């Protein structure tokens, strides 16, 4: 997840555990890739064998990703907050004036995946996104792949009791050329291993985006 401050002690974030990203990074490192792992404040343990770059906000994540380029492949698994508070308070918001709820102004965060996928010469050869959807999984994921300009998209259904912070997951891999692979129910480490193998296969010339 990323974490967007409201004031020095409060923030907006989401329920992502970081387990899937950690599993992918570790699997790639095991296959011999040099991995820069840019992470928000996730509870999952750090992936072994990777350079770890810690950030809090989406803006910091965007800057850290830019610094990590150039790269052969870029995989975007973070649950980035779509909005930040436009003017976080310098001091703790107080209830001096009673219990009236504060009015928060939101501003959009950068779309890190779309930005990297849209780079010209500096674009990684393989850009992989994730999609978290609560409904119309494949339809929304296919549109997201096109909108963000990525080569592959790993779609998974999320909800109150699904995926976020769970060990098991169910993903469908979509590719830009229209292929659709349902991987069925698997553990997050198994998804990481399979995706890492596929990335290695891509660079070995066995798969096309
Ligand atoms: N992503 C990103 N920067 C953002 C938001 C999302 O890089 N500001 C990336 C995620 O890491 C993921 C992909 O974009 O790889 C899709 O994220 P998702 O949350 O499914 O979609 P959104 O872009 O937030 O779109 P929507 O809210 O309409 O589902």
Whether 163 shows a pLDDT value over 80: the answer reads no
**Cα–ligand 1 centroid distance for 112 (angstroms):** 8
Q: Identify the H or E element spanning 115.
A: helix 112-117
Regarding the beta carbon of 112 and ligand 1, being less than 6 Å apart is answered yes
* CA atoms of 141 and 131, how far apart (whole Å): 6
**pLDDT (mean) for 111-125:** 97
Whether 14 is catalytic is yes
Length of the chain: 209
Whether 4 shows a pLDDT value over 70: the answer reads yes
* CA atoms of 98 and 94, how far apart (whole Å): 9
**pLDDT (mean) for 66-72:** 97
Which pLDDT score is estimated for 162? Answer: 60
**Cα–ligand 1 centroid distance for 131 (angstroms):** 7
Query: pTM (2 decimals)?
Result: 0.93
Regarding the beta carbon of 76 and ligand 1, being less than 6 Å apart is answered yes
pLDDT band with cut points at 50, 70 and 90 for residue 204: very high
* CB contact at 8 A, 73 and 124: yes
Whether 158 shows a pLDDT value over 80: the answer reads no
pLDDT band with cut points at 50, 70 and 90 for residue 125: very high
Which pLDDT score is estimated for 205? Answer: 85
pLDDT band with cut points at 50, 70 and 90 for residue 98: confident
Our mutation pick for probing the ligand 1 site, out of 13, 109, 113, 119, counting the most ligand atoms within 8 A of Cβ, is 113
pLDDT band with cut points at 50, 70 and 90 for residue 95: confident
Mean pLDDT of the chain: 93
Regarding the beta carbon of 46 and ligand 1, being less than 6 Å apart is answered no
Which pLDDT score is estimated for 160? Answer: 60
């Amino acid at each position: 997840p990323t974490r967007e401050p409201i004031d020095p002690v409060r923030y907006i974030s989401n329920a992502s555990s970081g387990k899937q990203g950690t599993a992918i990074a570790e699997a790639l490192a095991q296959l011999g890739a040099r991995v820069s792992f840019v992470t928000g404040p996730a509870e999952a343990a750090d992936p072994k064998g990777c350079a770890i770059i810690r950030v809090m906000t989406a803006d910091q994540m965007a800057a850290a990703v830019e610094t990590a380029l150039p790269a052969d492949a870029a995989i975007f698994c973070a649950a980035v907050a779509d909005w930040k508070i436009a003017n976080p308070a310098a001091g703790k918001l107080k209830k001096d004036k009673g219990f009236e709820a504060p009015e928060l102004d939101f501003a959009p965060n950068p779309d890190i995946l779309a930005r990297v996928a849209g780079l010209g010469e500096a674009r990684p050869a393989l850009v992989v996104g994730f999609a978290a959807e609560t409904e119309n999984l494949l339809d929304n994921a296919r549109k997201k792949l096109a909108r963000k300009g990525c080569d592959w998209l790993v779609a998974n259904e999320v909800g109150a009791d699904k995926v976020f912070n769970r060990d098991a997951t169910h993903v469908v891999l979509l590719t830009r050329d229209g292929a659709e692979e349902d991987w069925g129910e698997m553990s997050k480490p198994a998804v990481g291993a399979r995706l890492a193998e596929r990335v290695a296969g891509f660079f070995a010339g066995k798969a096309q985006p």
